Chain A
């Protein structure tokens, strides 16, 4: 694909595909028609030049191709179908110069992240349709064979069709749960790009979140956007020269992107001012406090502890409870923190961060910590972190 077309595709495919799906209610037909339009663009743009509104051009051509495909399929069928097609064709102006592309992406994202689909299908479908990523690339990012990913996408599209999953933005009491499903998918995509470093995925997640917020500006969406921006701002300090993770405590804070942090904080404050807090806004606030601190020691732990209390109240999970206990220890109450950790043992035994945190707390309280360090080390997979824990083990009671 030539550069101009590749760029237009990247920028516009989500919007074009959403408009096609809105009109034809058929994921496969929409994808095929867009593919046809891309092939035609590759053929004609080099000579005729790139159209001023590349997205509208692609949509207009794809619409014609979709109608051609439907006509072909319906040729043998009765006249009523042909009449319906005529209506469908007249429904929207066919002229690529005409107006903007209607933005149907909001409906599409809620369809792709419908709770009747498995979360892995939600993620795959969102990346395929809203981000325009080929199945091959999605398969690579999530470490599954290409055929498996193709099958996952095919099944999800079939379920949307067969089960009557609607193509609409949820309303009323459904909104919080449905929005949360969308935000989970976006954050999953972000983390899939952040942990093993596939920056393209993290960028897609940020782009999706920005689009979602543009179309439906809700505080939790802004909260997630700010949270991801804060993660990205700290990214330059996250790895050492040998690509080993550096813990937050030991990062060189001068490498953090101050402009990005300021931007995320403004976004977060604006969201918090709407007085509709939620787990993403709280996590972003915790992250922002870390970003503001000059050093690990200078971190505002009492404030972080208060935020973890709020987070636990709105989204209780053992991992949040673990983080809350760690914050409690840093806020100056290691004995109370240790007691809280021990209560979590049945749920978190075997979870490496739990044993590492417990070992450190035992040592801090002057209690025997050797066995707990040994347990944490046995659960650690990277040699760097094992070495790091061994060193701590040697210096503890």
Chain B
């Protein structure tokens, strides 16, 4: 099954991370690739660089943000190929941000019918 591991954290909270975050991400990715679990993964620029797009009544409205500085925001993702949820949870727990943020694990919707 394919699982999306969505990486959430409060902006700035990575400052409390013990160790080299970037190096640990590199190591995690390598490990996931070597295990054949890694399908894809990217990091996102901060929310301050985000734009929100909504189409209402046929017209497109674009706003700055979303700004929710005290809330956890999406910072990146991994797409993982795992046998079952337990394996996906095991990998999600290894993502460095799991130590100070939240990894949301969601199965991909299968559209085969």
A and B are partners in one complex rather than unrelated chains: yes
- A interface residue numbers (CB < 8 A to B): 114, 116, 162-166, 168, 170, 174
Q: Is B107's CB under 8 angstroms from A166's CB? A: no
Contact of B40 with A by CB under 8 A: no
| Closest chain B residue, CB of each to CB of A160 | B85
| Closest chain A residue, CB of each to CB of B82 | A164
Chain B residues 50 to 89 lying within 8 A of chain A, measured CB to CB, are 82-86, 88-89
* Distance, CA A162 to CA B84, complexed state (A): 10
Q: Is A162's CB under 8 angstroms from B86's CB? A: no
- B interface residue numbers (CB < 8 A to A): 1, 3, 82-86, 88-89, 106-107
Choose from B82, B84, B106 the contact partner of A165 (Cβ within 8 Å): B84
A166 partner residues in chain B, CB cutoff 8 A:
83-86
B82 partner residues in chain A, CB cutoff 8 A:
164
Query: Beyond A166-B83, A168-B86, A174-B86: 8 further Cβ-contacts under 8 Å?
Result: A163-B106, A164-B3, A164-B82, A165-B86, A166-B84, A166-B85, A166-B86, A170-B86
| Closest chain B residue, CB of each to CB of A115 | B89
* Distance, CA A168 to CA B83, complexed state (A): 12
User: Which has the most chain A C-beta neighbours within 10 Å: B82, B85, B88?
Assistant: B85
Q: Is A163's CB under 8 angstroms from B85's CB? A: yes
B3 partner residues in chain A, CB cutoff 8 A:
164
B88 partner residues in chain A, CB cutoff 8 A:
164
Top 4 nearest A-B pairs (CB, nearest first) are A166-B84, A164-B84, A164-B1, A164-B85
Majority secondary structure of chain A interface residues (helix, strand, loop or mixed): loop
A168 partner residues in chain B, CB cutoff 8 A:
86
* Distance, CA A97 to CA B68, complexed state (A): 65
* Distance, CA A377 to CA B111, complexed state (A): 60
* Distance, CA A292 to CA B107, complexed state (A): 53
A164 partner residues in chain B, CB cutoff 8 A:
1, 3, 82-85, 88, 107
* Distance, CA A116 to CA B106, complexed state (A): 11
B39 → A minimal CB distance (Å): 15
B89 partner residues in chain A, CB cutoff 8 A:
116
B107 partner residues in chain A, CB cutoff 8 A:
162-164
B29 → A minimal CB distance (Å): 22
A162 partner residues in chain B, CB cutoff 8 A:
107
* Distance, CA A164 to CA B86, complexed state (A): 8
* Distance, CA A97 to CA B88, complexed state (A): 41
* Distance, CA A165 to CA B85, complexed state (A): 5
| Closest chain A residue, CB of each to CB of B86 | A166
* Distance, CA A42 to CA B51, complexed state (A): 64
B103 → A minimal CB distance (Å): 13
* Distance, CA A116 to CA B88, complexed state (A): 12
| Closest chain B residue, CB of each to CB of A167 | B84
User: Which has the most chain B C-beta neighbours within 10 Å: A163, A164, A166?
Assistant: A164
* Distance, CA A305 to CA B10, complexed state (A): 42
B94 → A minimal CB distance (Å): 13
A114 partner residues in chain B, CB cutoff 8 A:
85
A195 → B minimal CB distance (Å): 33
Q: List 20 A-B contacts (CB under 8 A).
A: A114-B85, A116-B89, A162-B107, A163-B85, A163-B106, A163-B107, A164-B82, A164-B83, A164-B84, A164-B85, A164-B88, A165-B84, A165-B85, A165-B86, A166-B83, A166-B84, A166-B85, A166-B86, A168-B86, A174-B86
| Closest chain B residue, CB of each to CB of A165 | B85
B106 partner residues in chain A, CB cutoff 8 A:
163
User: Which has the most chain A C-beta neighbours within 10 Å: B1, B83, B86?
Assistant: B86
* Distance, CA A212 to CA B83, complexed state (A): 26
B1 → A minimal CB distance (Å): 5
* Distance, CA A370 to CA B15, complexed state (A): 51
* Distance, CA A396 to CA B100, complexed state (A): 50
B111 → A minimal CB distance (Å): 13
* Distance, CA A163 to CA B88, complexed state (A): 10
B84 partner residues in chain A, CB cutoff 8 A:
164-166
A214 → B minimal CB distance (Å): 24
